[in-house]
Structure 1
Amino acid sequence: MTHRILHLSDTHVSRTGPDEDGVDGLAALRGLLYDVRRVQELDLVVVSGDVADDGSEAGCRAVRSVVGEFAAERSIPHVYCTGNHDRRDGFAAALGSGHLAADGSPLGRAADVDGVIAAVSDVAGLRVITLDSLVPGETYGVLGRAQLDWLAAELASPAPAGSIVVLHHPPMSMDAIPYLKSVVLQDPEELGRALAGTDVQAVLCGHLHHQLAGQLSTKPVWVTPGVITRIDLTAPSTLVRGVLGAGATVVDLGGPFGPIFHTVHARDPQAGTEVYVYDPVTGDDITED
């Protein structure tokens, strides 16, 4: 049994449109979805957090409208999780548990865990689980014991086509980029223990605004590039350079070589244009020579 997923992340749409850097996330999202309109046989759209740059209900509703129209045209569900820019009240008001059928109606079942927005649904035999790693006011992510226990209980028995887990903060980092450890999921080994020996085919994340692959407890972890901007890793490892250029991933599950992660980019004539450079330790804006 195979499934094909369009994996988006970091749309960063606000109630006023542009994000805090003046980039129009809604325009970037529309442009990206237009450019992937001919991708065939999609079964699901996933948006892995930072739906609204300002955490607003209006920002979440705007993303839901655009992604929902794309999904409805293909008669497929669309699923969202919270990111560090999101607020749980705005997210819930606009997106409920984050699991929506093609017609926009609620899908699946919310986790019975206080204070988080996590849920599970079935997409043609594929179990789709979203986790809530949001820590209000912080850039890094955390999964509490109650949420991890819920996840382990959900994964205790296999699903017909296996499972995917979606969360915003990647449960991994790279030594070559020291600041990543301070912004990703903290204590990732806790999540690894919950995933070990289960039917999880892939862990899908966002947050970093660049593509990155790794493993956690032998499970493939994929970080999709951001929709609103991408991080240019040719910058010095001590700096964060954001540039224009929306990206996403087509994820193919099942088959002899799955999972396969295929990055797609919008046809943006301004792609690569620098938006910001800053020092992640001090927060200072940097002017490069």
Structure 2
Amino acid sequence: MPHRILHLSDTHAGATGRDQHDVDALAALDGLLHDCRHLPNLDLVLVTGDVADDGSAEGCAAVRERVGRFAASRGIPHVYTTGNHDRRPGFTLALGTGHLDDTGADVGVMLDGLDGLDGPGGSEGERAAVSMVGGLRVVTLDSLVPGAVHGVVSRRQLSALRGLLRDPAPAGTVLALHHPPIHTQSAPWMRPGGLHNRDELAEVIAGTDVVAVLCGHFHLQLGGQLAGVPVWVTPGVVTRIDLTAASDVVRAVRGAGATVVDLGGPFSPSFHVLHARDAEVGQQVYVADPAGFRDGSAGTGR
């Protein structure tokens, strides 16, 4: 039972449509979606966090409108997770559970025990939910730690996920969250800026029907494994982190990217990176001190 996912992340659209570095985030998203218009056989569009650069409902709504229009033209759902730049109230107001069908209706089911956590109706609570796409179970986790760059998946989410995974789905489960549980040694800022309780997540998914863990946050492509499960980090939409820079800086350059994830085929899962056409690709946007990823103070932290 094959499935094809267009995996986006880090759209960073502020209420004005721009990010904190004055990059036109919506123009970057529009350009990427335009260049993806010929992709065949898509079943889902997934956006793994940092939907809004300023956490605003307006930023989330602008991304939803564009991604939703792309999805509606294909009759497929679109799904979103929170990221460290998002805020749960704004995310909830614009995106609900984060699981929307091709008409924009909210079809997600909050993970057991999480609806309403920390606030009536869940507006202040963790946004972890599940929906089905043609036999494929799509689970979104909320790794947001307010005010921090790094991520954590709460014990309540992990407990709910453990219960959910006891029953396999017909086409398996895709797990989506913002903060990657993997990193590369060539970029020492990645480990402190990623998912801090990766071992706990690994214990929950080991031996289950999870076929892939899909993440964002690092603004670059990166693959690895967690408990034997393939993990993929997709490039950012608004900017790309350039790992040819010296290890004592984090350098962001122009260049939107995305991934086509193919599940159920002979090489499943496979990951095909797409780069949008951009006359300014490779131009430097900012340089940040990686220490901010260790202490959570990086204003430019992704």
TM category, shorter: over 0.9
Within 5 Å, give how 1:193-212 maps onto structure 2.
Answer: 193-212=203-222
Distance in 2, Cα, partners of 1:238 & 1:158: 44
- 2:182 corresponds in structure 1 to 172
| Residue-pair matches, total | 285
Q: How far apart are the structure 2 equivalents of 1:284 and 1:183? A: 10
Residues 1:85 and 2:85 aligned together:
yes
Q: 3-state DSSP class of the match of 1:93?
A: helix
SS in 1 for 2:291: coil
The answer to whether 1:130 aligns with 2:122 is no
1:144 aligns to 2:154 (yes or no): yes
Aligned pair partner of 1:235 in 245, 249, 257: 245
CA distance in 2 between counterparts of 1:180 and 1:260 reads 23
Match of 1:223 among 214, 218, 233: 233
Give, in angstroms, the shift of residue 174 of structure 1: 1.9
The structural deviation recorded for 1:56 is: 0.1
Does the 8 A contact of 2:46 with 2:79 survive in 1? yes
| Cα distance in 2, alignment partners of residues 177 and 244 from structure 1 | 19
Letter in 2 for 1:174: T
Please state how far the C-alpha of 1:237 moved relative to its aligned partner: 1.4
Query: Which letter does structure 1 place at the counterpart of 2:270?
Result: I
Correspondence list, 1:17-36, <5 A: 17-36=17-36
Aligned to 1:66: 66
> 2:122 matched to which residue of 1?
none
Aligned to 1:106: 106
- Secondary structure in 2 matching 1:210: coil
Q: Distance in 1 between matches of 2:165 and 2:34?
A: 36
In 1, distance between residues paired with 2:184 and 2:33?
Answer: 30
1:176 CA drift (Å) = 2.2
SS where residue 267 of structure 2 aligns? coil
Tell me how far 1:175 sits from its aligned partner. Answer: 2.2
Q: Which amino acid aligns with 1:179?
A: W
**Where does residue 97 of structure 1 map in the other structure?**
97
The residue number in structure 2 matching 1:52 is 52
Q: Secondary structure at the match of 1:178?
A: coil
* Among 171, 180, 187, the residue aligned to 2:197: 187
> Given residue 54 of structure 2, which amino acid in structure 1 is its aligned partner?
D
Residue 73 of structure 2 aligns to a residue in which SS?
helix
1:213-237 superposed Cα distances (whole Å, 9 cap, x missing partner): 0000000000000000000000011
3-state DSSP of counterpart to 1:59: helix
Q: Secondary structure at the match of 1:42?
A: coil
For residues 94 and 153 of structure 1, do their structure 2 counterparts lie closer, same or farther at Cα, with a shift above 3 Å needed? Answer: same
1:189-218, CA deviations, whole angstroms, 9 ceiling, x for partnerless residues? 100011001111100000000000000000
| Residue 261 in structure 1 maps to residue 264 in structure 2 | no
Deviation at 1:284, TM superposition (A): 8.7
Greater mean deviation of Cα atoms: 179-188 or 83-92: 179-188
Is residue 11–residue 63 contact of structure 2 (8 Å, CA) maintained in 1?
A: yes
| Residue identity matched to 2:100 | L
Aligned-residue offset at 1:256: 1.6
Partner SS for 1:90: helix
Task: List structure 1 segments (4+ residues) > 2 angstroms apart after TM superposition.
Answer: 282-285
- In structure 1, what is the equivalent of residue 120 of structure 2? none
Task: Tell whether the 8 Å contact from 2:149 to 2:298 is kept in structure 1 after alignment.
Answer: no
SS in 1 for 2:286: strand
- Larger mean CA deviation between 114-123 and 174-183 belongs to 174-183
1:9-64 deviation line (CA, Å, top 9, x unaligned): 00000111110001011000000000010000000000000000000000000000
| Cα deviation, residue 259, structure 1 | 0.3
C-alpha displacement at 1:108, in angstroms? 2.8
The 2-side partners of 1:103 and 1:245 are apart by: 30
- Counterpart Cα distance in 2 of 1:128 and 1:221: 15
**1:120 maps to what in 2?**
130
Q: TM-score, normalised by structure 1?
A: 0.97
Going from structure 1 to structure 2, the CA distance change for 1:284 and 1:25 (only over 3 Å counts) comes to: closer
